[in-house]
């Protein structure tokens, strides 16, 4: 296999295209902190930091879950399971991503660099949480939510304002909500091998209700952001669209019908993150 082919397979393995879920919320924290567009230096290194952080987390996840992925019919066709990549190659990619992430944090400011090791612990630790707690969904959300707060800190070198915490809360429960929905696909497998999740522990109906409640917290947190920042009508129009998309997402998935989980997980949530960013940026620009 050529090097270019290996890179393509690796990007497929870590679902690199799903970085779209994390980047818009990181940019949201960035533009709110800057009250507009930040410096080119900040924008470039925030982008590199967020991308390398996600690559690190997903690379570790694929190796950590290799044994389970090989036994799960839903994940048995992943490149690492098929042997198109070796664990050594994926660990090497994780190590490179770690170095890039730490260097990016150093490029931004000392405050962010000091927080970077905590972020690494959260990023790497998520892959092992399903082994001991059904709170794994919120651990994932907390880890992804740090992107928005981290981008704020990258611009301001501080987290003393309420806005980054509200953003962190919003993303934490947004990610946890759709991860709860996604985890419903693996209920029987998780129970069989002893992995922990809300669907496996409490059942699919409870998991879907928990997802609804999590997304309600997301909406309330975003309302808080709009009020604290004094954002204008484009933000509120965008938030109304997001509420509609969340309602649509939940209408797609029923306890007895999970056939549309991928539409709810990939398509709808991609729209939500992009619309939230664009609406916020428009509100700042108009102001």
- DSSP reduced 3-state for 157: coil
pLDDT above 70 as % of the chain: 98
What's the total number of domains in the chain? 1
- Tell me whether residue 5 is in a domain: no
- Tell me whether residue 36 is in a domain: yes
Residue 8 tokens read as 């393509």
pLDDT tens for residues 156-196?
Answer: 999 999 999 999 999 999 999 999 999 999 999 999 999 99
Task: Work out the average pLDDT over 255-262.
Answer: 80
Residue-level pLDDT at 10: 79
Residue 241 tokens read as 């669209």
Asked if the model's pLDDT at residue 1 lies above 70, the reply is no
- Tell me whether residue 85 is in a domain: yes
- C-alpha torsion 31→33→38→39, nearest 10: -160
Rounded Cα distance between 176 and 76, Å, is 24
Q: Nearest to residue 275, comparing CAs of 199, 202, 222, 220?
A: 222
Q: Which residues pair with 257 in a beta bridge?
A: 254
- C-alpha torsion 76→81→83→86, nearest 10: 160
pLDDT tens for residues 210-222?
Answer: 999 999 999 999 9
- Tell me whether residue 1 is in a domain: no
Residue-level pLDDT at 196: 95
Q: What is the DSSP letter of 36?
A: S
Name, in order, each residue with C-beta under 8 angstroms of 74's C-beta and a sequence gap of 6 or more.
Answer: 185, 186, 189
pLDDT tens for residues 67-92?
Answer: 999 999 988 888 889 888 889 999 99
Residue 276 tokens read as 């939230």
Residue-level pLDDT at 22: 73
Q: What is the CATH number of the domain that holds 262?
A: 1.10.357.140
- Tell me whether residue 10 is in a domain: no
Range of the domain at 204: 20-286
- DSSP reduced 3-state for 106: helix
Residue 156 tokens read as 């301001």
Work out the number of other CB atoms within 10 angstroms of the CB of residue 41: 10
Residue-level pLDDT at 256: 86
DSSP string, 43-99: HHHHHHHHHHHHHHHHHHHHHHTHHHHHH-TTTTTSHHHHTSS-HHHHHHHHHHHHH
Are the beta carbons of 112 and 153 closer than 8 angstroms? yes
- Tell me whether residue 9 is in a domain: no
- DSSP reduced 3-state for 148: helix
Residue-level pLDDT at 264: 67
Q: Nearest to residue 136, comparing CAs of 179, 100, 86?
A: 179
Are the beta carbons of 47 and 169 closer than 8 angstroms? no
Task: Work out the average pLDDT over 21-44.
Answer: 92
Q: Which residues pair with 254 in a beta bridge?
A: 257
Q: How confident is the model at residue 259 (pLDDT cuts 50, 70, 90)?
A: confident
What average pLDDT does the structure give for the chain?
92
Residue 275 tokens read as 């619309």
Residue-level pLDDT at 230: 95
- Tell me whether residue 6 is in a domain: no
Asked if the model's pLDDT at residue 18 lies above 80, the reply is no
- Tell me whether residue 272 is in a domain: yes
Q: How confident is the model at residue 257 (pLDDT cuts 50, 70, 90)?
A: confident
Asked if the model's pLDDT at residue 19 lies above 90, the reply is no
Are the beta carbons of 180 and 214 closer than 8 angstroms? yes
């Amino acid at each position: 296999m050529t090097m270019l082919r290996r890179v393509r397979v690796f990007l497929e393995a870590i679902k690199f295209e799903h970085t779209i879920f994390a980047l818009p919320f990181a940019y949201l924290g960035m533009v709110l902190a800057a009250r507009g567009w930040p410096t080119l230096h900040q924008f470039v290194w925030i982008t590199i930091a967020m991308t390398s952080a996600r690559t690190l987390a997903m690379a570790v996840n694929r190796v950590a879950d290799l044994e389970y992925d090989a036994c799960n019919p839903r994940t048995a066709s992943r490149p690492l399971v098929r042997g198109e990549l070796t664990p050594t190659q994926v660990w090497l990619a994780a190590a490179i991503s770690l170095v890039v992430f730490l260097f990016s944090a150093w490029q931004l400011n000392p405050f962010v660099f000091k927080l970077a090791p905590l972020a690494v612990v959260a990023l790497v630790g998520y892959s092992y949480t399903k082994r001991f707690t059904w709170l794994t969904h919120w651990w994932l959300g907390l880890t992804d939510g740090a992107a928005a707060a981290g981008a704020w800190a990258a611009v301001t070198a501080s987290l003393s304002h309420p806005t980054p915490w509200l953003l962190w809360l919003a993303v934490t429960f947004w990610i946890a909500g759709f991860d709860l929905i996604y985890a419903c696909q693996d209920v029987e497998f998780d129970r069989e091998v002893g992995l922990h999740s809300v669907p496996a522990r409490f059942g699919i109906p409870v998991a879907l209700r928990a997802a609804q409640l999590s997304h309600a917290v997301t909406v309330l947190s975003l309302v808080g952001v709009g009020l604290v920042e004094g954002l204008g009508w484009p933000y509120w129009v965008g938030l109304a669209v997001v509420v509609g998309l969340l309602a649509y997402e939940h209408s797609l998935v029923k306890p007895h019908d999970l056939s549309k989980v991928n539409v709810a997980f990939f398509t709808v949530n991609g729209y939500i993150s992009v619309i939230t960013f664009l609406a916020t940026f428009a509100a700042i620009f108009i102001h």
